[in-house]
Amino acid sequence: MVVTRPGQHFVYVGGEVARPGAIVLVPGMTLLQALVNSGGFRTTARRDSVLLIVPAPGGTFSTARVNMEAIVDANALERVRLQANDVIFVPKTWIAGMDDVVNLYVTGLIPGMPNVGVGYSISR
Protein backbone atom coordinates (compact mmCIF):
# COMPACT_ATOMS: atom_id res chain seq x y z
CA MET A 1 0.00 0.00 0.00
CA VAL A 2 1.34 3.41 -0.98
CA VAL A 3 0.06 6.56 0.73
CA THR A 4 -0.24 9.29 -1.87
CA ARG A 5 -1.44 12.01 0.52
CA PRO A 6 -2.05 12.23 4.26
CA GLY A 7 -5.60 12.01 5.59
CA GLN A 8 -7.49 15.24 5.95
CA HIS A 9 -8.41 16.68 9.31
CA PHE A 10 -11.45 18.85 9.89
CA VAL A 11 -12.74 21.61 12.15
CA TYR A 12 -16.45 22.20 12.57
CA VAL A 13 -18.12 25.60 12.43
CA GLY A 14 -21.70 26.15 13.54
CA GLY A 15 -24.13 28.80 14.61
CA GLU A 16 -24.45 32.22 13.00
CA VAL A 17 -22.17 31.80 9.99
CA ALA A 18 -23.18 31.78 6.33
CA ARG A 19 -22.23 28.13 5.67
CA PRO A 20 -22.02 26.02 8.84
CA GLY A 21 -20.34 22.64 8.56
CA ALA A 22 -17.00 20.86 8.40
CA ILE A 23 -14.02 22.54 6.78
CA VAL A 24 -10.64 21.06 5.96
CA LEU A 25 -8.03 22.01 8.53
CA VAL A 26 -4.94 23.63 7.05
CA PRO A 27 -1.80 23.63 9.23
CA GLY A 28 -1.60 26.87 11.20
CA MET A 29 -5.25 27.79 10.50
CA THR A 30 -6.62 30.48 12.78
CA LEU A 31 -10.11 30.90 14.14
CA LEU A 32 -10.73 33.87 11.84
CA GLN A 33 -9.58 31.92 8.78
CA ALA A 34 -12.01 29.11 9.63
CA LEU A 35 -14.86 31.59 10.07
CA VAL A 36 -14.09 33.28 6.76
CA ASN A 37 -13.93 29.85 5.11
CA SER A 38 -17.47 29.30 6.43
CA GLY A 39 -18.75 32.40 4.68
CA GLY A 40 -18.24 34.85 7.53
CA PHE A 41 -20.59 36.09 10.22
CA ARG A 42 -24.31 36.47 9.68
CA THR A 43 -25.83 39.79 10.78
CA THR A 44 -27.31 37.96 13.78
CA ALA A 45 -23.89 36.77 15.03
CA ARG A 46 -22.61 37.66 18.47
CA ARG A 47 -19.01 38.26 17.44
CA ASP A 48 -17.75 39.15 20.92
CA SER A 49 -18.52 35.73 22.40
CA VAL A 50 -17.52 33.00 19.91
CA LEU A 51 -17.08 29.59 21.53
CA LEU A 52 -14.09 27.40 20.78
CA ILE A 53 -14.70 23.83 21.94
CA VAL A 54 -11.57 21.66 22.01
CA PRO A 55 -11.59 17.88 22.57
CA ALA A 56 -9.63 16.90 25.67
CA PRO A 57 -8.36 13.53 26.90
CA GLY A 58 -10.93 11.13 28.32
CA GLY A 59 -13.76 12.21 26.05
CA THR A 60 -14.18 15.59 27.72
CA PHE A 61 -14.07 19.04 26.18
CA SER A 62 -12.47 22.35 27.01
CA THR A 63 -14.35 25.52 26.09
CA ALA A 64 -13.12 29.10 25.67
CA ARG A 65 -14.86 32.31 24.65
CA VAL A 66 -13.06 34.37 22.04
CA ASN A 67 -13.80 38.02 21.32
CA MET A 68 -13.67 37.97 17.53
CA GLU A 69 -15.01 41.52 17.44
CA ALA A 70 -11.71 42.76 18.86
CA ILE A 71 -9.77 40.70 16.34
CA VAL A 72 -11.85 41.83 13.34
CA ASP A 73 -12.55 45.46 14.22
CA ALA A 74 -9.44 46.42 16.19
CA ASN A 75 -6.93 44.27 14.30
CA ALA A 76 -5.93 42.56 17.55
CA LEU A 77 -3.34 39.81 17.33
CA GLU A 78 -4.92 36.39 16.90
CA ARG A 79 -3.07 33.72 18.82
CA VAL A 80 -5.51 30.85 18.47
CA ARG A 81 -4.40 28.04 16.15
CA LEU A 82 -6.91 25.31 15.44
CA GLN A 83 -6.39 21.58 15.87
CA ALA A 84 -8.23 18.63 14.32
CA ASN A 85 -11.83 18.19 15.52
CA ASP A 86 -12.09 21.63 17.14
CA VAL A 87 -15.60 23.05 17.13
CA ILE A 88 -16.35 26.75 16.63
CA PHE A 89 -19.80 27.97 17.60
CA VAL A 90 -21.02 31.50 16.89
CA PRO A 91 -24.05 32.32 19.07
CA LYS A 92 -26.90 34.68 18.21
CA THR A 93 -27.17 38.21 19.53
CA TRP A 94 -29.84 38.71 22.18
CA ILE A 95 -32.00 40.68 19.76
CA ALA A 96 -31.89 37.82 17.24
CA GLY A 97 -32.99 35.51 20.04
CA MET A 98 -35.89 37.84 20.83
CA ASP A 99 -36.89 37.81 17.17
CA ASP A 100 -37.11 34.01 17.40
CA VAL A 101 -39.29 34.31 20.52
CA VAL A 102 -41.68 36.67 18.75
CA ASN A 103 -41.86 34.41 15.68
CA LEU A 104 -42.40 31.24 17.73
CA TYR A 105 -44.59 32.39 20.58
CA VAL A 106 -46.45 35.45 19.31
CA THR A 107 -46.81 35.31 15.54
CA GLY A 108 -47.05 31.52 15.48
CA LEU A 109 -49.75 31.35 18.16
CA ILE A 110 -52.10 33.94 16.72
CA PRO A 111 -53.72 32.54 13.58
CA GLY A 112 -54.35 35.03 10.81
CA MET A 113 -52.23 37.72 12.42
CA PRO A 114 -51.68 40.32 9.72
CA ASN A 115 -48.27 41.57 8.76
CA VAL A 116 -48.27 45.18 9.89
CA GLY A 117 -46.09 47.67 8.10
CA VAL A 118 -45.85 51.21 6.86
CA GLY A 119 -46.30 52.15 3.25
CA TYR A 120 -47.58 54.81 0.91
CA SER A 121 -49.12 55.09 -2.50
CA ILE A 122 -48.28 57.57 -5.27
CA SER A 123 -51.51 57.40 -7.19
CA ARG A 124 -54.56 59.65 -7.38
Residue 117 confidence (pLDDT): 52
pLDDT at 124: 57
What are the backbone dihedrals phi and psi of residue 82, each rounded to the nearest 5 degrees, phi first? -85, 155
The candidate with the shortest Cα–Cα distance to 26, out of 110, 86, 93, 108, is 86
Instruction: Say what the pLDDT of residue 88 is.
Output: 96
The whole-angstrom separation of Cα 24 and Cα 85 is: 10
pLDDT in tens, 34-92: 999 999 999 999 999 999 999 988 889 999 999 998 888 877 778 889 999 999 999 98
> How far is C-alpha 41 from the chain's CA centre?
6
Which carries the bigger pLDDT value, residue 33 or residue 113? 33
Q: What is the mean pLDDT of residues 104-114?
A: 62
Question: What is this structure's pTM?
Answer: 0.74
pLDDT digits 0-9 by tens, 9-37: 999 999 999 999 999 999 999 999 999 99
| The CATH number, out of the four listed (1.10.443.10, 3.90.1300.10, 3.10.560.10, 1.10.760.10), of the domain defined by the range 10-107 | 3.10.560.10
Hey, where are the domains in the chain? 10-107
State which amino acid sits at residue 120: Y
CA distance 6 to 24: 12
